Structure 1
Amino acid sequence: MAIKPDKLSDPVVRAFVNAVNSHDREGFMSLLSLGATMADDGRDRNLADWIEREIFASNGHMEVDSESDGGRTLHARYRNDTYGEMKTQWHFTVDDGGQISRFETGQA
């Protein structure tokens, strides 16, 4: 049973999931710190290219199944037009200013 995004514990992660699911690029980008980084399946990726390809150009969507680490780690079913649906894990590092400085995702 999925957790509704508005019930996620961490407010920054909640905003991230809502931005992905509503395809709100401006809102999404406002959540990232200057110089934010990310990794997919254990490999660092170019953040701007990955966001465009995996989220916005391919209609990315997250259904969160569980959270841990105070809401900073998610297990979710992620789908997009390129790869279909897959079980994924997401981990977020949030800086002192309340922005995401790094996120890591990959198949779970």
Structure 2
Amino acid sequence: MTIQPAKLRDPAVRAFVNAVNSRDREGFLSLLAPDATMADDGSDRDLADWIDQEIFSTHGHLEVDNESNGGRSLIARYRNDTWGEMRTRWSFTVEDDGRISRFETGQA
């Protein structure tokens, strides 16, 4: 059962999913803290390179199936033009100012 992005509990995570799905790179970047970091399958990656290769140049799209941890952990079907669709997990660290300082993803 897919959870509509508008129904996601955490405002920063909701905005993250909406930015990915609408291919809004500027909006996406505005959600991140200046020193934000990320990891994919347990390995830290260069944030700018990763989002270009995995999201924005390859038409990334998230369909959320489950949320936990107050909306800061997701299980989602993620697809892009490179890898097709896969079941993924996402976790977010959101700072007091509402910006995301770290996100981690990988296969679920």
| TM-score, with structure 1 as normaliser | 0.99
Q: Distance in 2 between matches of 1:26 and 1:49?
A: 15
Matches of 2:49 and 2:97, distance apart in 1: 25
The amino acid that maps onto 1:61 is H
Aligned residues: 108
* CA RMSD between the two structures: 0.3
Residues 1:96 and 2:96 are matched in the alignment: yes
2:4 aligns with 4
Give the SS at the match of 1:23. coil
The answer to whether 1:14 aligns with 2:22 is no
Equivalent residues in 2 for 1:38-77, closer than 5 Å: 38-77=38-77
Deviation at 1:96, TM superposition (A): 1.1
Could you say what secondary structure the match of 1:3 adopts?
coil
Unaligned runs of 5+ in 2: none
Tell me, in whole angstroms, the C-alpha distance in 2 between the residues paired with 1:2 and 1:96: 28
| Cα distance in 2 between the residues matched to 1:79 and 1:29 | 20
Aligned to 1:32: 32
Paired residue type of 2:55:
I
TM-score, reference length from structure 2: 0.99
Structure 1: gaps of 5 or more residues: none
Amino acid at match of 1:100: I
* Residues 22-51 of structure 1: per-residue CA shift (max 9 Å, x gap): 000011000000110000000000000000
Runs of 4+ with deviation above 2 angstroms: none
> 3-state DSSP class of the match of 1:59?
coil
